[in-house]
Chain A
Amino acid sequence: MTFWGLGGPKWWQQASRSVSISASLSRVESPPARADATFKVTMLPGDGVGPELMTAVKDVFKAGDVPVEFDEFHLSEVQNMASEDKLEELLSSMKNNKVAIKGKIHTPMEFKGELASYEMRLRRKLDLFANVVHVNSLPGYSTRHNNLDLVIIREQTEGEYSSLEHESVPGVIECLKIITRAKSRRIAKFAFDYATKKGRNKVTAVHKANIMKLGDGLFLQCCAEVAQLYPKIKYENIIIDNCCMQLVQNPYQFDVLVMPNLYGNIIDNLAAGLVGGAGVVPGESYSAEYAVFETGARHPFAQAVGRNIANPTAMLLSAANMLRHLNLEYHSHMVSDAVKRVIKQGKVRTRDLGGYCTTGDFVHAVVENLRHRPNY
């Protein structure tokens, strides 16, 4: 493998970008030489409050002198900016940058021909198979369940979101849920690799194999097979309805959860609600080559557009995670510490956390706190 004359550190950066160790052992694509030390990241504001949240991220990065440059793309299904060429442009940008930060691309209810939404197509093209949501209680904001620390890993390319539906007989619609061994194994391996890397103790598979014996049965079998390769990590499984019940009664029994697509959607949102809602939970999506950072619970929140009330915490924490992924540890800590300090002080809170401040106020407070740089 040649590295175009680049030294050791660059290769280390490139290799440490992919969290999914299993799939990244293939080729290492060397990036074009960078002019200065800034990283280029693709940005997709999306719909709803996405653009406002992206502005928040840009403001904080500017104030903190973070060496990241954004390549913006405006794709939207509702605004009819969803053409194939735009998708191609985006893909070439992603191939260059490898890392992206994005808002939610809203899926309109009425479909015009294609059953798969724009976001699903994007996910499939980039093969973003793993969605990781970090559910952490924020110090200073108490909910009914405090000190939560969960990781939810969701397979997001197959399962119920296959977009394969047809009307076999008038009045009877069939929707196909596809589960494959390859993808189930891949997500299971990802989950266990992730748990190993982050020092977690337990992985719980969530399923409904008592009813969908073949489909979820296959998923469960793959998880069990992969679990045997990781003797240090405890493996359990739980049925989805029992899991939901346990999450509201005793969420502390869970550590890392892995599951197929639809259950992931439900549990992501449920867990986000446990710690404070869609405004405080960061998440990311991984493929073998790319990493896309976004909020954990994905909603466009169209009711808040233009009112300056959206909570940028989730997006800022996700941006901090992105900085860590780019190996900018110092800047990552700076941003996340500033956000956490603002939440802990409790003086500046957006409406979803019970306060009256605007998004702008919150960003301003974070920028102020950036000046208190941590001593590392």
Chain B
Amino acid sequence: VALRKTFNNMQTVTLIPGDGIGPEISNAVMKIFEAANAPIEWEERNVTAIKGPGGKWMIPPDAKESMDRNKIGLKGPLKTPIAAGHPSMNLLLRKTFDLYANVRPCVSIEGYKTPYTDVNLVTIRENTEGEYSGIEHLIVDGVVQSIKLITEQASERIAEYAFEYARNNQRASVTAVHKANIMRMSDGLFLRKCREAAEKHKDVKFTEMYLDTVCLNMVQDPTQFDVLVMPNLYGDILSDLCAGLIGGLGVTPSGNIGANGVAIFESVHGTAPDIAGKDFANPTALLLSAVMMLRHMGLHSHGKKIETACFDTIRDKKVLTKDLGGNSKCSEFTEAICQKVRDMD
């Protein structure tokens, strides 16, 4: 193994285990990666909010330094304490690394049956502005105003990213989701930028659809969608809707792309404090996010190997965690996947 390390190009990835079931599923992922001989070295870091100079909340400097150096990160679920006085950790990470795109590929998992089969789409959501700008005012007592911000720069950036993603991942079409008939100026700007990006990438088909039409058609026939790009709020709703189509947040991967080449892949489910430490957790979401990470890094063969092993294990239905309908432990599930991975070599 030592010999291998000198020849292989080992890449270091920052690992943030997270809270609750985070550490267990991170361990599971590390074990599976080892079984697959993936050339990844993990650097574990903790992100708890600390108060920096000037009273601003920030993530620990060693975590920031590690991410800036490695550029790629894998994150488990982080708990957001309700009255801690500091903003949510996810928000802090987003602001620190300018994670502007949230990418969620939703693929139906064979073996985990939902009423919707053959789902294969990707939702790309603008993650920095829009309705989540957090700018709200109490105008007079009983009247509140929330501001939705759309800027040319952010819209251009996300549109460009969507087309690049489509090209790099051999996707045929990109659909912009908007409500420009109602929010004529703001979504109108977003749509204009998408159209301009479409002009520059003529090899990818571009369509635009109203948000309500997308929702209507999504629950009737999700196979008609490929890559969807949209502003923040619609993205939040649609990405969760698509997660529901394939089986929920426990099996959905997610990646956040930031400026300067930073990318953090994460599982979007909660910390599940009630089953933490009891070896009941399902590592699928984090594992699929890690596979997404491998693909992002160009390690397609390893990614494919691990993904196939995971899907095969779920399809076999012999060893499944509780939420997938079985009654095996997390460690047994992980071991089954490791075995499949080793068998493939």
Tell me the B residues contacting A by CB distance below 8 Å. 114-116, 131-132, 134, 136-138, 141-153, 179-186, 188-189, 211-213, 215-220, 233, 236-241, 243-245, 248-249
Q: Is A37 an interface residue (CB 8 A)?
A: no
Binds B, one of A41-49, A191-199, A267-275: A267-275
Across the interface, which residues of B come within 8 angstroms of A248, CB to CB? 115-116, 219, 241, 244-245
Across the interface, which residues of A come within 8 angstroms of B248, CB to CB? 245, 249
A173–B149 contact, CB under 8 A?
yes
Q: Mark A35-77, 1 if CB is under 8 A from B, else 0.
A: 0000000000000000000000000000000000000000000
Number of A-B contacts (CB under 8 A): 163
Give the shortest distance, in Å, between B139 (CB) and chain A (any CB): 8
A266–B211 contact, CB under 8 A?
yes
> Which partner residue on chain B sits nearest A216 by CB separation?
B146
Q: Is A176 an interface residue (CB 8 A)?
A: yes
Q: Is A144 an interface residue (CB 8 A)?
A: yes
Q: Is A31 an interface residue (CB 8 A)?
A: no
Across the interface, which residues of B come within 8 angstroms of A240, CB to CB? 236-237
Give the shortest distance, in Å, between B239 (CB) and chain A (any CB): 8
Give the shortest distance, in Å, between A174 (CB) and chain B (any CB): 5
A181–B143 contact, CB under 8 A?
yes
Give the shortest distance, in Å, between B63 (CB) and chain A (any CB): 24
Q: Is A145 an interface residue (CB 8 A)?
A: yes
CA distance A178 to B140 in the complex (A): 12
B185–A214 contact, CB under 8 A?
no
A180–B244 contact, CB under 8 A?
no
> Which partner residue on chain A sits nearest B139 by CB separation?
A178
Across the interface, which residues of A come within 8 angstroms of B146, CB to CB? 176-177, 179, 212, 214-215
B131–A107 contact, CB under 8 A?
no
Across the interface, which residues of B come within 8 angstroms of A274, CB to CB? 219
Q: Is A97 an interface residue (CB 8 A)?
A: no
CA distance A180 to B243 in the complex (A): 33
Given contacts A165-B186, A249-B248, contact A266 B145 (CB under 8 A): no
Other 9 A-B pairs with CB < 8 A, given A214-B137, A245-B244, A248-B244 = A109-B184, A165-B183, A165-B184, A176-B147, A212-B146, A244-B241, A245-B240, A249-B114, A249-B248
Q: Is A95 an interface residue (CB 8 A)?
A: no
**Interface members, chain A 261-294 (any B CB < 8 Å):** 262, 265-266, 268-270, 272-274, 276-278
B212–A214 contact, CB under 8 A?
no
CA distance A176 to B131 in the complex (A): 9
CA distance A269 to B218 in the complex (A): 10
Across the interface, which residues of B come within 8 angstroms of A212, CB to CB? 131, 136, 146
B240–A272 contact, CB under 8 A?
no
CA distance A160 to B178 in the complex (A): 13
- Say which residue of A173, A249, A262, A277 sits within 8 Å of B186 (CB atoms): A173
A182–B142 contact, CB under 8 A?
yes
- Say which residue of B148, B212, B218 sits within 8 Å of A160 (CB atoms): B148
CB-defined A-B contacts under 8 Å, sample of 13: A109-B180, A109-B181, A173-B185, A173-B186, A173-B189, A215-B144, A215-B146, A246-B244, A265-B179, A270-B219, A272-B216, A273-B217, A274-B219
